[in-house]
């Protein structure tokens, strides 16, 4: 039975790493987009496009976190 818990731990660890990677990839456009808007907010078309990208990436990040919470909610550390 100890072997099963080790396999489960490795599976959850892999899932956590993949989730962190996905979240990092999603947060990067949010950060760079916000930086671009702050750097040059004179081109309203570009600002609108970048703001839309930020919203889209934020929504993806929320979905990734919801999935992570749902998948790990059943874990009991005790």
Q: What is Dmax (Cα atoms) for the chain?
A: 63
42: helix, strand or coil: coil
Mean pLDDT (the chain, rounded): 87
Query: What pLDDT, in 10s, does the model give residues 4-51?
Result: 778 888 888 888 899 999 999 999 999 999 998 999 888 899 899 999
* Residue 38: exposure state from Cβ atoms within 10 A (0-12, 13-18, ≥19): exposed
Distances (CA, A) of 2 to 6, 9, 13, 16: 6, 11, 17, 21
Q: What is the pLDDT of residue 78?
A: 53
pLDDT tens digits, one per residue of 45-61: 989 999 999 999 999 99
């Amino acid at each position: 039975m100890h072997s099963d818990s080790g396999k489960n731990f490795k599976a959850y660890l892999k899932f956590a790493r993949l989730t962190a990677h996905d979240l990092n990839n999603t947060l990067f456009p949010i950060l760079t987009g916000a930086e671009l808007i702050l750097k040059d907010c004179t081109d309203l078309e570009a600002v609108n496009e970048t703001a839309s990208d930020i919203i889209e990436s934020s929504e993806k990040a929320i979905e990734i976190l919801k999935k992570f919470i749902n998948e790990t909610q059943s874990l009991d550390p005790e």
